[in-house]
Structure 1
Amino acid sequence: MRVLNPEKVHWRRGIQAAARYLAEHDDLRVPYACRTPADWSPADFPLGAWIADCRRYYNEGTLAPERIDQLEKLGMLWSSFDASFEQGLAAAAAWAAEHHVGLAAPVDATHGDYLVGKFLSNQRAAARRAQLLAHHQAEGSNPPDSSIAPPSPTSAARHSRTSIPAGARPGPSTGSAYSGVPTTTSRTGAPSPATPTNSSSRAKTSANGPSCRHAPSVD
């Protein structure tokens, strides 16, 4: 008799649910509270928590290389901040392709339900802060606004993208052993296997479970 490995079964269910979500939403920006609908296979799978765990274990360096490869083939972005930026980038490119004015979008411009104008305004403001900081660093002086913090490597890379090709789409990042089973953290700080929780301990849901549609966000 073959003995099933619960951890491997959980991982396969996660990949299956992620592939179905990708087919329906064209990305893996899964809300944390998302559980798969009853007509999916697997049904009632905690996909949002599973995706979050994958990102966490990747950042800790404990996600197995073959599993990283599986997720990256689905277009996984390992940072939720990068995912948000790529979402804005794709929406801005689509808006520019429709309006033929480059990225000169008014602040109230939208693409679908995404706030393209606000996204671009935020990116320009961040770029100005980064340029001001670089100027003062080159002169060896302090910026007039003490609240300006050095840009992170990720934000610096974002600001270097001076143009967005029409039709640009988010792509997988490059990048390590994750058990595939969600864990919790004990009071001592050590990870321990998560125990099933009842519905009252989760986010409030509708009769069909929490929505798996991601809400529009602005980076």
Structure 2
Amino acid sequence: MKTILIIEDEKDLAELVAFNLEKEGYRTITAFDGTSGLEAARAHHPDLILLDLMLPGVMGMDVCKMLKKSEKMATIPIIMLTARGEEIDRVVGFEVGADDYVVKPFSTRELLLRVKAVLRRSLPDKPDGKILNIGAVTIDTARHQVEVAGEEIILTTTEFKLLLNLAERLGRVQSRDLLLKNVWGYNYVGDTRTVDTHITRLRTKLGPAGDLIRTVRGFGYKMEEQ
């Protein structure tokens, strides 16, 4: 049974979300502020976190940053819950490590679809023992591990799948829409900034090897050896 941590200060909303998730077979844990949310994440290591942007005490963005800086919790997928629908909020959320977002007010059906999609993306692929070497980057698909010049780099599941998608199609340009379909598994209508912000974060984590990912202006990205 998958465990979902809900960090939401509106208790009625948190309880409603928990009720609907439990109806779908999930186990839920609720926290009503950032501090207790962090404590619950450390104590229970959930399969997914629903994280409100506006929280008392420690804000949602800061909670996300702290989780993603933790080696033990960095790979836990996070869906941001926000009352704001502005693009800048979505972009900042992705930049600090969120895997998806839902804008309030949201329907139960939409939230469940997002939860299922993110959990599906977080499932490890069947080990096939494939190891890809591209420049200083080594990708071990069986272990879901990435190294740059022999040093392991901690990536989220989405970042790993994005890198692998580009690496397996070395030298071939992938449009933003195609990357959304292949990596995210469902369509963000017109929201290709999702890809751009994840590419930026991925390049940063790869350091100098991030230059292996090339931007094809007006279209998308490709990975090629220098």
Same fold (TM over 0.5): no
Compare the two structures and name the one with the higher strand fraction: 2
